Amino acid sequence: MSDFTIFPAIDLLHGQVVRLERGDPARQTHYDRVPAHTARRWLKAGSNWLHVVNLDGAFGEPDGENQSAIAAILAAAGSRANIQLGGGLRSVESLEQTFSAGIRRAVLGTWAIQHPEMTRKLIERWGAERIAVSLDAEGGKVKVQGWKEDTGLEALELALHLKELGLRWLIFTDISRDGLGTGLNLASTVEIARRTGLSVIGSGGVFSLEDVCAVRAAGLAGIIIGRALYNGSIDANQLFKI
């Protein structure tokens, strides 16, 4: 893996590629009915990682259509790219199925926050390279259950605790910026990386190549890009030449 990784996001809802504004299903835009086509598009542009989110799983809804889409994305990626998958991974069994299917890294959210000791055991079992935790915050406070429930926990304090559990990879999203193209909350993201020493992947609000370059220059481990790629404010062919 390179020192800086770009992750095109493929968010799945009812088996289709969508983007949500601030995680709200009522504010969604549909982009592709065949997610494997989207995967091939980003792979052709030069991506070697894909960030896939099972939104139905994250919202606690039936996700059979998404599971079929994930299998198709895995087939499209083959040996050319790694898949980072999040959304609804809330049991040991779901992780076992995820890794058996060929997913390279699992992204935990709600479950990791609610069951820290189990998170420690999962990291010990599968290794720190294969487990990431997503901290999704609004006003500095972490939200769970598909961003619907407030925890009252400070993102930085929780990140420090996760580091103690053996975590290496952390995804930090500022919910207030997600899907809006207003720019990444770089200051907060960098502060978490600096204070914890974790490999932090920035997410939420990326709009331009300048945003990507700023994240890389700040020393973060990577960046997740969604709407900016789909709407064309970032050209994929230029992006993967960075």
Domains in the chain: boundaries: 5-239
Task: Give the pLDDT score at 187.
Answer: 92
* Contacting residues for 217 by C-beta, under 8 A, at least 6 apart: none
Task: Give the pLDDT score at 1.
Answer: 40
- Annotated catalytic residue 178: no
Pick the catalytic residue from 56, 136, 174, 211: 136
CB count in 10 Å sphere of residue 156: 18
Helix (H) or strand (E) holding 112: helix 110-114
Task: Give the pLDDT score at 177.
Answer: 63
Task: Give the pLDDT score at 22.
Answer: 63
Task: Give the pLDDT score at 144.
Answer: 73
From CA 72, how far away is CA 39, in angstroms rounded? 9
Task: Give the pLDDT score at 146.
Answer: 58
Task: Give the pLDDT score at 195.
Answer: 97
Mean pLDDT by 10 residues, the chain (242 residues): 85 93 75 96 96 92 96 95 94 95 95 91 97 88 70 88 97 74 84 97 92 95 95 94 80
Task: Give the pLDDT score at 138.
Answer: 83
CATH number of 5-239: 3.20.20.70
Q: What's CA 173's distance to the chain center, in Å?
A: 9
- Annotated catalytic residue 3: no
* Contacting residues for 125 by C-beta, under 8 A, at least 6 apart: none
Task: Give the pLDDT score at 198.
Answer: 98
Is the separation of the CB atoms in 85 and 54 below 8 Å?
yes
Is the separation of the CB atoms in 89 and 108 below 8 Å?
yes
Joined together, the tokens standing for residue 95 give 């992780």
Q: Name which of 107, 42, 53, 105 is nearest 77 in CA terms.
A: 42
Task: Give the pLDDT score at 102.
Answer: 97
Task: Give the pLDDT score at 7.
Answer: 98
Task: Give the pLDDT score at 201.
Answer: 98
Task: Give the pLDDT score at 229.
Answer: 95
